[in-house]
Structure 1
């Protein structure tokens, strides 16, 4: 995920530092230091704000003048899938290399070449109660979850949006027996050095409670005895 300019800055910095005592270091890649990189170009590439596909690819270390100086070693075994899931493992490799079975549509549509066909075994047909369907597919009956570590760690629900996470969490809580309790965050603000008679209107408690920030919990947390809680 690291932008190629970061590696360029590192190399120039090492040359500046090391050449103070060894002038020959100016002519060595990374000033002669061993640099070990680990990653997979099939996964997340550098993030370029408002960048096109070409901008993202060109920001990768593989398009840097330093890339030819590296020795490449490839890992052959996919440790993220069970070794008996050979067909699924091969399909993942095809997706990563850009050679999966694609959607046959109008060739003039540039986005069609980026679309792939997902095998039916990996798809749950959408029904009326989608939240129940997701929960049942992952954990089964939440009321019968065993209080063991494997019952929580072996299965995970992933979603790209935090709003969906909140929906799934609220649904899971609602399906468990017992009385729920609500816990609230501290809902006041600290007065700055600049005094103002409008603080109460500018920073209304209701407004503060409605704000949500990445990496921070929501103002209201609802819990019951039984459902799993993940602490980070």
Structure 2
């Protein structure tokens, strides 16, 4: 950008981004970037506040104070948080927030069993990247289909996806941003087909829109996996509970922690 805007004014070569205004978003002060297999010092140094351009940034703050209506806050210490009312409106406005993905998975599996609908199982199709094994001279017979099915890479759907009609789910990847189908978008299952899943968006500016989610082939980018493989599965995950990061910018009337 410095090279481009230097054509208009020579002094722009000395300004960050060529003098163009850039807006940085996100809670970079609260949520640090994820750097696998790095120490705390490297993670802190990778944040925006540690960048050499931080001295040229202007911090924007809120000018109005928004208070929470405490009369609407309720607490629950058992499964009744979802079990008492599986109505359509309640499912859209309720969620459980937790810190770790392991806790999220345990809660989702427990509440899915309590959901009063017939379940449908979807198994993924996992395959090795043979070009990678041939190029690196690796014996692909060491990695059977059962090994691939047991892997749970970050940001990837699981091998055995169990869903029920009416269950809240979330997207794991961007599919169609114009239609509101982005990573983290919450939906509610309307119908379960063999090749597609019909769902309704319950979050964002496209609330109420119905869409069809197909199976998509993905290759994980998790560096902890020493080989390359492909998984074909619906990009959905049960979302009774979700991480606090995923809940940002969402409107929820009742939240369990």
Per the alignment, in what secondary structure is the counterpart of residue 139 of structure 1?
Answer: helix
Q: TM (normalized to structure 1)?
A: 0.53
Match of residue 227, structure 1, among 167, 187, 212 = 167
Contact map agreement 1:172 1:227 (CA 8 A) in 2? no
Residues of 1 paired with 2:68 and 2:158: CA distance? 40
**Higher helix proportion:** 1
Correspondence list, 1:130-141, <5 A: 133=78, 135-136=79-80, 138-141=81-84
Correspondence list, 1:1-232, <5 A: 14-20=1-7, 22-40=9-27, 42-47=29-34, 50-52=38-40, 59-63=46-50, 66-77=53-64, 82-85=67-70, 133=78, 135-136=79-80, 138-141=81-84, 144-148=85-89, 151-189=90-128, 191-192=130-131, 194=134, 199=140, 201-232=141-172
Deviations 1:198-221 (A, max 9, x none): 64x423121121111111211112
| Aligned-pair CA distance for 1:176 | 2.7
Q: TM (normalized to structure 2)?
A: 0.49
Please name the residue that 1:114 is paired with.
none
Deviations 1:117-147 (A, max 9, x none): xxxx9895xxxxxxxx2x43x4242xx3112
Instruction: Tell me: higher relative CO, structure 1 or 2? Use CA pairs within 8 A at least 6 residues apart.
Output: 2
Between structure 1 and structure 2, the one with the greater Rg is: 1
Where do 4+ consecutive residues of structure 1 move more than 6 Å?
none
Contact map agreement 2:83 2:114 (CA 8 A) in 1? no
What stretches of structure 2 of length at least 5 have no aligned partner? 173-257
Aligned residues: 168
Residues of 2 paired with 1:190 and 1:68: CA distance? 45
**Higher strand proportion:** 2
What stretches of structure 1 of length at least 5 have no aligned partner? 1-13, 89-120, 125-132
